[in-house]
Amino acid sequence: MKVNARLAGDWQYIPSQVREFEAMGYDGLTTVETNHDPFLPLMVAAEHSERIGIGTGIAVAFARNPMNLANIGHDLNAYSKGRLTIGLGSQIRAHITKRFSMPWGAPARQMRELVLAMRAIWANWYDEEPLHFDGEYYRHTLMTPGFVPENRDYGPPRITLAAVGPVMTEVAAEVADGLIIHPFSNEKYIREVTLPAVERGLAKSGRKRADFELVYSPFIVSGDEETRAKMEETVRTRISFYGSTPAYKNVLGVHGWGDLQPRLNRMSKEGQWDAMPDLVTDEMVQTFAVVAEPEDVVSGIKSRFGDVIDRTGADFDFAEPDQRKSMIAELQGYI
């Protein structure tokens, strides 16, 4: 299992943080699109590292178009000498239309087309194939020589897609190189819903499971008593937040907790954010998180997901540096 770490949002810490992550043995590092652009920090990370992979986890796909993504993907992959993975997610309608002022379509169908359009652009650049992509959402039919990148030694980056529901998951397995499983998932949901959708998507593309990477970073509750209490509070808050989203109802539903979703949704609309975590039971925390002593966290991750997940993200902030390094190596199978 490969292990990722997440970059800090503050750029001044990126050079030292990247060097620390590389020395610890992490396989990759990611950025997330919240209150900062997810791509720009990766240029700094690439400059101050030698081997570690870089990627977005995730960038909002529908806030951009295929040509934007193809360009920045090429530049970062060329500069990092082939170390980039573009992780994309759809976000929800309100954010796309109200925050980014972009159109909203059928998310899974639009995401499939966006990835195929990016690949068509790259095929033009790297393989000199004619550019003629004419879809429902995107149309790319013009590419003159002056707009083709010159530094093409490393080819296109990898693409991973974030998904919760089976339809988007199936799309990811059909057209992308990997799937980022939402942290608001759990072992039962992954095995009963996610994996069958992956197999259906792979069958459409004629690929095998070995050709496709599954990425999942479970919630973790560990550390000393004070740290553990804070982490558990954070997990309850995140479960209640994600659980309020209608599209995530089935994640609760596989455990018979589907009725909680409309209740949380109603409370969120009423602004009762502070009260929502109180509805998250201890059983839910145990289901959605690996709750263990520091020395047992890795075995907890492996016992639940070791036969399923190819890559995980774990900062292990609750552990001392030497212990973190050992935990990373243990997940990777070196010890």
Say whether both 61 and 126 belong to one domain.
Answer: yes
Residues 117-165: tens digit of each pLDDT: 999 999 999 999 999 999 999 999 999 999 999 999 999 999 999 999 9
E-strand stretches of the chain: 2-6, 28-31, 53-56, 59-60, 84-89, 133-134, 139-140, 158-163, 178-181, 213-216, 219-221, 289-291, 311-313
Q: Which domain holds residue 197?
A: 2-221+290-332
Q: Which amino acid is at 89?
A: G
Digitized pLDDT (tens) for each residue of the chain, 335 residues in all: 999 999 987 888 999 999 999 999 999 999 999 999 999 999 999 999 999 999 999 999 999 999 999 999 999 999 999 999 999 999 989 899 999 999 999 999 999 999 999 999 999 999 999 999 999 999 999 999 999 999 999 999 999 999 999 999 999 999 999 999 999 999 999 999 999 999 999 999 999 999 999 999 999 999 999 999 999 999 999 999 999 999 899 999 999 999 999 999 999 999 999 999 999 999 999 999 999 999 999 999 999 999 999 999 977 889 988 999 999 999 999 76
Say whether both 91 and 139 belong to one domain.
Answer: yes
Question: Average model confidence (pLDDT) for the chain?
Answer: 95
- Pairing state of beta strands 139-140 and 133-134? antiparallel
Pairwise CA distance, residues 27 & 52, whole Å: 5
Pairwise CA distance, residues 41 & 85, whole Å: 14
Say whether both 247 and 309 belong to one domain.
Answer: no
Say whether both 258 and 175 belong to one domain.
Answer: no
Domain harbouring 123, CATH code = 3.20.20.30
Q: How many residues does the chain have?
A: 335
End position of a domain, from candidates 271, 289, 307? 289
Quote the pLDDT of residue 38: 95
Is 323 in a helix, a strand, or coil?
helix
User: Nearest 5°: phi and psi at 142?
Assistant: -130, 125
Tokens of 159: 């693409």
Of the candidates 156, 198, 163, the one whose C-alpha atom is nearest the C-alpha of residue 180 is 163
